[in-house]
A and B are shown apart, each in its own frame.
Chain A
Amino acid sequence: MPIITGRMFQHLDGHKDLTNHTDVLTIKDPDVLYIPLMNGNAPCNPLVKVGDEVKVGTKIAERNDHFYLPLFSPVSGTVTGIEKRMTTAMKMADHLRIENDHKNTEEQAFEPLDYESASNEELLNFVKNAGMLGLGGAGFPTYVKFLKPENVDLFIVNGVECEPYLTADYKNMLANMDLLKVGSLALLKLSQAKKGCISVKEDKKDLIAELQKTFAGTAIEVRPVPDIYPAGWERTLVYLLTKKRYDRLPIEAGCILNNASTAIALGNALVNGKPITRKYVTVSGDGVANPQNVIVPIGMPAHDVVTACGGYLSDECVICAGGPMMGTAVPNDTFVIGPANNGLTIFVKKDEESVKCLRCGKCTESCPSGLQPVRINAAEKTKNIEALKNLDVASCIECGLCTYVCPSKLDVTEGIRRAKRYMALMAKKK
């Protein structure tokens, strides 16, 4: 109901031209890799010891709490230690240090599978044991979504990539149409939905044409969405496609979503028996010499990636792990590319002059969660718990849109985070 609530999204200048038309670069693998032994906030246990030889595809660690997720080595070489390093979330975590012998000796991580003849159970186990996870940023093990697929009307492959600057999914899709098709159809089968669709932004005409060719005659339809942010966020995408809102999980609206790169990774696993060991990463922004997409092994330090792209353009830069909207700005570049990283956005530092809030309401009109950021910030300042409760602070997804639109250049999103922390603290106290 945009007339009375605002549109709850915004068109952003994506600056995708910086990297859309340049070739994808495969850069030389680093001499040393650091594989993060983390999945989300859960630790993963190493399966190798210091001194062990590993090959490309060796299973090196696994998450084994209520979820299962194996990790595989992207290179061949020697395990030389377990180090604490800072992650993109700015926490310290264990990383497995692997010295690369640059020989790329391979080992078959698992057998390929013909998804068409496999039973659903076989397929689900395959997805689980192949270590498939959400590559769009969440890093959530993929099989979990398909454990109980009940009443799924629509299976959605999310290729929207709504973060500005990022083009990694776009490049990945164009380069790997066949794998995308296999992976998407396999996931559609697992979802037991009657229909599937693949969504990309409507301005990507070349990609849409390719997709239409690839998916012609399948149960997956190409459904372009408008060039808005955050069209790639699950709730917004489900709303755009079905006009339905849901409370907790997309399955309530009869939908299951998967990222397009995840589908490609699954295609690669099914066809070639290869796990996720490399990523398409967009390196872009006005602070890097050669903005482009690169294919890098998981565990490569950001510093090495930036150097391979010509280095920084200024002595004072901001580097975001991911796109500029949701990617955290990290105060050093020692963090490594993890499975869920799809970009590094680098800007020359510039100072914004902020003025007072003019109560323009642009934040309340844009918030994809339907919140009222300006009022949340005001309530946070006076620690008005009652108001904060009414204002549903917990539904904020930190998409960053409220800061983006604010004409007074205030750090609105940061205020919401403060309010969230404050509410969490209060809840604990009780």
Chain B
Amino acid sequence: MKLIYKPSPNYRSPQSTSGIMKDLTYCLIAVTIFSSLYYTMAFGSNLGLRVVLMMITSVASALATEAIWCKVTKQEVIKGVLTSYGWVTAMILTLMSSIKVSYYALAVSTVIALVFGKLVFGGFGQNIFNPAAFGEAILMNTFAGSNRTDILTSATPAAAMKSYGWMTTGDTFSTMMTSKGFGSLGQMFVGWYPSAIGSTSALLILLCLAYLVYRKDIDWQASVFYIGTVFVLSLVIGLLHGQGIWYPIFQVLAGGVLFGGVFMLTDPVTSPVTILGRIVFAVGAACFTLIFRLRSNMPDGVLYSILLMNMLTPAIDKMLEGSQIKDIAKLKKRAIIAIACMALVTIGVGAIAKTQSAASTGNPASVNEFAAAIPESTISWEGTDYE
């Protein structure tokens, strides 16, 4: 008979990190299946299949990379790979990519994402940047040229909107939606429109969010504050320019706001460890998303806003260091100041954005023609919505 000493407590919740990753994997599989179905129905089974093959390519490269890494660093391979969760990174990376990305570019980006985005930092839990976002940035900046040109899909709403600098009149907007075949905002909500592979169905992504929150895998705060802030700030900016409710709704539905907000911003490793910190983090990311959309050359600001906030995570944690009971007033004040500053800057940036429309350019004559006249190159799949 042996009695063993173990420091108390000797009782643990059934939830495990591997369980959390499993749930996340299920959600990502669901998004992949939806996407594959959409591409099959809209563009033929070739593209539907391509979604699946891309996913397999990326996941396989991730598993191989981590297995080799474990071998080289002399860790137990199977355990190492299973507790490093590289496949989640690979799946998110694939879902953020455009269907036109070549298998080769995707595989190489996956390897780079894992090695330089995660493993060199000391592996799972130590990385500063969201590895998937890191990989996507590489993919877009290095491999844009290797995109398949023979794959024909249509432009994405985010890219089309970008050609108006994310600020246009309601009329131009409706014309754009119909002439490009995006349909209604409702159709965008359900997800029947072209976008990055995984960011089509707002509905499905929100269901994933509900599932992950229900399973206590993630907090709801980061996602809700991110999406909510994008909505509220673009509502204000839209009002300053006399836009209707379509404007904030479009801002939320288009591009990677929902996908990024649910699957990337909630990555615990690269976000602050307190809820208050996560709120600041999410609001910050929302502000930068809008600023990048309105002021930069990138079609969508989601990716870079997340990377930027990843970089600020240690600072946010430091800022909110203290007791959440005794120091709560002080911590709340700091958070509110940070949030207020970022929101004001964003509204300021939004206020000076120019409304671009067919009418304001005066040429070509009709709104319809203008929308049709947007050169395909600026709105086609050169980059993806995340850039």
Contact = CB atoms under 8 A, between A and B. Distances in A.
A387 interface: yes
A215 interface: no
Nearest to A357: B125
B3, B11, B20: which has the most chain A beta carbons within 10 Å? B11
Given A318-B4, A325-B9, A392 B123 contact: no
B328 interface: yes
A143 to B, nearest CB: 30
Contacts of B18: 355
Interface string B311-339: 00000010001111111100010010000
Interface in A264-321: 312, 315-320
B8 interface: yes
A5 interface: yes
B151 interface: no
A247 B326 CA distance: 8
B6 A318 contact: yes
Given A3-B221, A327-B8, A359-B269, A333 B3 contact: yes
A8 B275 CA distance: 12
A347 B12 CA distance: 12
Interface string B224-237: 00000000000000
A424 to B, nearest CB: 17
B11 A404 contact: yes
A329 B335 CA distance: 41
Assign chain A's interface to a size class: 35 or more
B74 interface: no
B2 A316 contact: yes
A78 interface: no
Interface in B252-272: 268-269, 271-272
Nearest to A400: B9
A328 interface: yes
A1 B8 contact: no
Contact of B17 (A1, A327, A355): A355
B377 interface: no
A173 B189 CA distance: 57
Interface in A139-181: 164
Nearest to B9: A400
A332 interface: yes
B181 interface: no
Contacts of B12: 352, 403-404, 406, 409
Interface string A401-429: 10111111101011001000000000000
A398 B11 contact: no
A16 interface: no
Contacts of A327: 8, 10
Contacts of A370: 323-326, 328
A245 interface: yes
Interface in B78-127: 83, 123-126
Interface stretch (A124-132, A254-262, A371-379): A371-379
Contacts of A355: 17-18, 83, 124
Contacts of B8: 320, 324-329, 398, 400, 413
A94 interface: no
A387 B12 CA distance: 28
B278 A404 contact: no
Contacts of B9: 324-326, 400-401, 403-404, 413
A364 B15 contact: no
Contacts, number: 176
Contacts of A209: none
A374 B273 contact: yes
Contacts of B278: 361
B16 A409 contact: yes
A359 B323 contact: no
A333 B274 CA distance: 40
Q: Is the interface of B mostly helix, strand, loop or mixed?
A: loop
Interface in B16-56: 16-20
Nearest to B124: A356
B189 to A, nearest CB: 26
Chain A contact residues, majority secondary structure? loop
Nearest to A164: B11
A345 interface: yes
Contacts of B4: 316-318, 329, 331, 349
Given A316-B2, A408-B17, A359 B7 contact: no
B78 to A, nearest CB: 12
A390 B322 contact: yes
A395 B275 contact: no
Contacts of B272: 361
B323 A371 contact: yes
A25 interface: no
A405 B17 CA distance: 11
A397 interface: no
Interface string A238-266: 00000001010000000000000000000
Given A324-B8, A333-B3, A347-B10, A5 B324 contact: yes
Nearest to B125: A356
Contacts of A408: 16-17, 125
A5 B276 contact: yes
A409 B10 CA distance: 11
Contacts of A329: 4-8, 10
A6 B1 contact: no
Contacts of A347: 10
Nearest to B18: A355
Contact of A391 (B5, B13, B17, B321): B321
B275 A407 contact: no
A50 interface: no
8 contacts: A5-B328, A245-B325, A329-B5, A365-B275, A370-B325, A370-B328, A401-B9, A417-B7
Interface of A: 1, 3-6, 8, 10, 12, 164, 245, 247, 312, 315-320, 323-333, 345, 347, 349, 352, 355-361, 364-365, 367, 369-372, 374-375, 387, 390-392, 395, 398, 400-401, 403-409, 411, 413-414, 417
Q: Which 8 A-B pairs have the closest CB atoms?
A: A400-B9, A370-B325, A370-B324, A356-B125, A324-B11, A392-B323, A331-B5, A414-B7
